[in-house]
Structure 1
Amino acid sequence: MKNLSLLFVLAVILCGSACETDFQLEGEWEDIPVVYAFLSEQDTAYYVRVEKAFLQPGGDATQLAQIPDSIYYGVDDVVVALERVTNGQKYTLQRVDGRTEGYPREEGNFANEPNYLYKLPRSVTRLRGGDQFRIIVDRGGQTAPAIAESTIIDSIEVAGLPFSGQLGWGEYARDGKIEWRYYGPGARVFDLRVKFRYRETDPANPAIRIDKEVTWVLNKSVERVTDQVSTQVYRFPSEAFYQFIGSTLEPLNTGTRKFDAVVIEVTAAGPEIEDYLRIAGANIGITSSQAIPLYTNVTGGVGVVSSRYKSVSAELSLDGRSRDSLFNGSYTKLLNFVP
């Protein structure tokens, strides 16, 4: 699983990724809904990506992918609904252009304008941890709808932070750690990241410092270790933190840098993402066939519908030893960090 990213799946949903080409089929014409949703109780609106995957015999997939009508359903051709499984209440989602919602589509094989998504504001109904939901894509007529079901995962939180608010990652030979707690059974796989915030001298105006940030990806898919409500710990060599900074930042020609803060981010995803990553990861390696099997939990279509939750720590500082390693350590001493 370590070669695949939990957050890559989220990018597929909102921004669109080449992953969708897995579902381009050539043969007799067949209308196949492609459905992605990655919902969270933290959302202010719930978004679902719905497209169609087909290739007419002899067609050119590269050309068709650049034609919006080839990948999107017409506005009146499909109805996308969210259903609460416990009481059967259904809510119709409205088609919107992701670009105006803050989700532009990434440049790639597919047309990036427009970027149609289906939206349900949280003001209409609010999903909370433990709520079962169903996404229904109805194309009308005698065609069976595409349906996927999942459960909103309960909250997680970054845990085990020092009371002082200062991280002790200064000794290269010792391990640092990221710790988090989960409160329900749904969170199954975790993405761990550390944001390093600093300021550096503006070359155009030395009296001003520019706010900057780099993100260290520790692990993209850490599996849950127990089904109980528990705290999980991920350990890493403290030295790796400074190696990342040293390999990411370039020395300054003039001016200095000042450290501001470290922020820890843990993102959890549901069992569908765990299954997706495991099935794909199991077939990657020197002994594999290199043919990644298709995972989907969408009946009558293809795609992945699941849930996520993100926890972000408060801004943390570095203790004296950690600052000394940043200012004077072998990996970062040439980066002009000053007290």
Structure 2
Amino acid sequence: MQIRFLFILLAFMAGFSSCSNEFELIEEKIETPIVYSLLDYEAPYQYVRLERAFASPNQSAVELAKNPDSLYYKNAIVNLILKRGGVDQTFTLEEVDGNDVGYPRQDGVFAKEPNKLYRINSALLNLVPGDKVKLEVNIGEGNPVTAETTIITKPTSSFPRSGSPVAFSPTQGDNFKWNHVGNFPGSIFNLRAVIHYTEVSAGEATQKSLVWDIAKNVSKENFLASPGEFYSYLGSSLAKSTSTTRFFDGLDYFIYCGDENLSEFLTIGQANTGITGSGELPVYSNLSRGLGIFGSKAQLSLLGLGLAPNTINELKINKLTKDLNFQ
């Protein structure tokens, strides 16, 4: 008899693909711990999601998923052990409701309340790139669930460059480049830009933004975009208008980095890395038992970048953007 087998994954970074949250196993009476955590040395808090995969021959998967008692472990203890200078320091995380700390669960088959997470203030850990951290989860039965990771560093960007206007070519591929400082680089990268602009129509000004996902799951420290991709993106994302005038306000650029554990997890193609999201059962797991991932992530943010004068002018004359009425 087939048993529905469901779980939800916590995650980091914006922009990775979301998958189905329902799948089937053959075995009955299986209970498996599911752990997900990506440490970020610049984040204000470090989070761990702990749940369990569950099965029942007598209840439907949907009914089980709506029951918090089936989804969460009671009295679990989640520790982070910082290994630095030959000394191990153990920190116990507090249990919180994600709904109360800015991480509500998305609508779906799973119980939305409570939304249990475990967290610790990053100031207590004071993580730096190169730190080795061990996760230890005690669920009250069996050996603890353990895993280890090394904290990675965020990169520096050479295109776009901080403080310099960005010039996008209309005819050649823009080569987004970055590099790392130190010995603990990321292994997989997502690139995103948020384009801010103002629309003026009938004398009323409205500030708006577009999210441009430039590249996903890049494994090297550069990405060559298609020729004129910036103009192509704007041309396909905004409606042509003669009555609306648009003004470019600024561009925010982000590089999201993951370690080798996350790279392997995503390469398999069964990952879901949003804190509020859900995903398929991963084949890859670096936990001592159970399923999930314990890894490290980092983020570079370049905020308020301007466009070079030739790019502003190109927006007015390029065949892909001239009817958008940028001034």
How far has the Cα of 1:104 moved from its partner?
1.2
Match of 1:332 in 2: 321
Match of 1:195 in 2: 194
Q: 1:120 and 2:113 equivalent?
A: no
C-alpha contact (below 8 Å) 2:129/2:184 kept by paired residues: no
Distance 1:51 1:105 in 2: 13
Distance 1:58 1:243 in 2: 54
How far has the Cα of 1:129 moved from its partner?
0.7
Match of 1:10 in 2: 11
Match of 1:32 in 2: 32
How far has the Cα of 1:32 moved from its partner?
1.3
Q: 1:220 and 2:216 equivalent?
A: yes
Q: Choose from 244, 264, 274 the match for 1:275.
A: 264
Match of 1:132 in 2: 132
Sort the Cα spacing of 1:18 and 1:59 in 2 relative to 1 into closer, same or farther, 3 A.
Answer: farther
How far has the Cα of 1:40 moved from its partner?
0.7
Q: Choose from 304, 313, 317 the match for 2:293.
A: 304
Match of 2:248 in 1: 259
Q: 1:323 and 2:312 equivalent?
A: yes
How far has the Cα of 1:58 moved from its partner?
4.2
Give runs of aligned pairs for residues 108-257 of structure 1, distance below 5 A: 108-141=108-141, 143-161=142-160, 165-169=164-168, 171-183=169-181, 184-201=183-200, 206-224=202-220, 232-252=221-241, 254-257=243-246
Distance 2:163 2:100 in 1: 42
Distance 2:104 2:78 in 1: 21
C-alpha contact (below 8 Å) 1:18/1:109 kept by paired residues: no
How far has the Cα of 1:111 moved from its partner?
1.9
Post-superposition Cα deviations, 1:268-302, rounded to whole Å, max 9, x if no partner, equal 10000111122338xxxxxxxxx997110111211
TM-score, normalised by the number of residues in structure 1? 0.81
C-alpha contact (below 8 Å) 2:31/2:55 kept by paired residues: no
Equivalent residue pairs, number? 304
Post-superposition Cα deviations, 1:140-169, rounded to whole Å, max 9, x if no partner, equal 25x111111111112312224468822221
Sort the Cα spacing of 1:163 and 1:88 in 2 relative to 1 into closer, same or farther, 3 A.
Answer: closer
Distance 1:304 1:21 in 2: 19
Structure 1 residues without counterparts, runs of 5 or longer:
1-7, 225-231, 282-290
Distance 2:13 2:175 in 1: 30
Post-superposition Cα deviations, 1:153-197, rounded to whole Å, max 9, x if no partner, equal 12312224468822221x422221212121233410110112211
C-alpha contact (below 8 Å) 1:106/1:112 kept by paired residues: yes
Structure 2 residues without counterparts, runs of 5 or longer:
1-8, 271-279
Post-superposition Cα deviations, 1:290-315, rounded to whole Å, max 9, x if no partner, equal x9971101112110111111001242
- Runs (4+) off by over 6 Å: none
TM-score, normalised by the number of residues in structure 2? 0.84
Distance 1:155 1:295 in 2: 24
How far has the Cα of 1:20 moved from its partner?
5.6
Secondary structure of 2:123 counterpart? coil
